[in-house]
Amino acid sequence: MSSVAGSDDRTAAARIRDAAIALFGELGTDKATIRGVAAAAGVSPALVLHHFGSKEGLRAACDEYVVAEYRRSKQDAVESGTTDPFAALAGVEKSLSHLRYLSRAIRDGSPAASRLFDEMVAESKRVMQLSVAKGLLRPSEAPHDRAVLMVAWQFGGLVLHEHVARGMGAEPFSTELTARIARAALEVLTHGVFTDARYADAWQATDRSGDDHTAMEPNEEDRP
């Protein structure tokens, strides 16, 4: 309810940026053309270059903007008091185009998206440490790896949202879909899926690369 206000009182650069976010997210940075962005923003193709230098510059600007927005909204959600890692995912229904863009950016491996991933790993790790101390989360034998995995799963749900939606027979980004994902995820993350620890024990027993890779986790500090 914030970005796509109907009025065109935004500055031309902002209109271009928003149109680019929408088009890049919908078609990908390759298929989306400068001419298409310009047409969607109601300006000439040359103006796009005038403001952003190049297509890559435009992409970088969109990256910065969307990631900053996402970071901000997530920060708000965190400061609202929720501590579970899925609150963020559930709370970001606000802007479809931004989500779509983010999904694309992660898929395409843009630098900003990679930075975001790393940041979220660090923050997830920190929050998880706190939650473990509070007794809300089980301690892990490999806290860093677990944090990476959980962020990857969270982002994976975003990147593969189209497939997940199709698989569940629900509309992409619909509240019903996010609710069902959250429900299934909570179930698995609360109770696990296995009835006993035979698989985990069996894996443990194979002792591949030993028990020492718990100690070889990189960057133990929280801020990079």
Partner DNA sequence: CCTGCGACTGAACTCATGTTCAATATACTA
Partner DNA sequence: TAGTATATTGAACATGAGTTCAGTCGCAGG
Contact call for residue 49 and DNA (CB under 7 A): yes
Single out the residue of 85, 110, 94 nearest to residue 2, CA to CA: 94
194 burial (CB, 10 Å; 0-12 / 13-18 / 19+) is exposed
Single out the residue of 108, 4, 41, 31 nearest to residue 49, CA to CA: 41
Contact call for residue 76 and DNA (CB under 7 A): no
Residue 153 contact, options a second copy, DNA, none, Cβ 5-8 Å cut-off depending on partner type: a second copy
Q: What is the closest distance, in whole angstroms, from the C-beta atom of residue 63 to a second copy in the complex?
A: 15
Q: What is the closest distance, in whole angstroms, from the C-beta atom of residue 55 to DNA in the complex?
A: 4
Contact call for residue 176 and a second copy (CB under 8 A): yes
The rounded Cα 33 to chain-centroid distance in angstroms is 25
Candidates 8, 64, 145, 171: give the one binding a second copy (CB under 8 A): 145
Q: What is the closest distance, in whole angstroms, from the C-beta atom of residue 62 to DNA in the complex?
A: 14
Candidates 208, 212, 215, 220: give the one binding a second copy (CB under 8 A): 208
Interface with a second copy by CB under 8 A: which range of 57-65, 68-76, 93-101, 158-166?
A: 158-166
Considering only residues 30 to 89 of the shown chain, the ones binding a second copy according to CB under 8 A are: 30-31, 84
Contact call for residue 55 and DNA (CB under 7 A): yes
The rounded Cα 149 to chain-centroid distance in angstroms is 13
Contact call for residue 61 and DNA (CB under 7 A): no
Q: CA–CA distance from 115 to each of 56, 76, 99, 102, 173 (Å)?
A: 17, 19, 16, 12, 24
Q: How far apart are CA 38 and CA 34, in angstroms?
A: 6
Contact call for residue 199 and a second copy (CB under 8 A): yes
Q: Within 10 A of 148 (CB to CB), how many other CB atoms are there?
A: 18
Question: Which positions touch DNA (CB under 7 A)?
Answer: 11-13, 31-35, 42-47, 49-51, 54-56
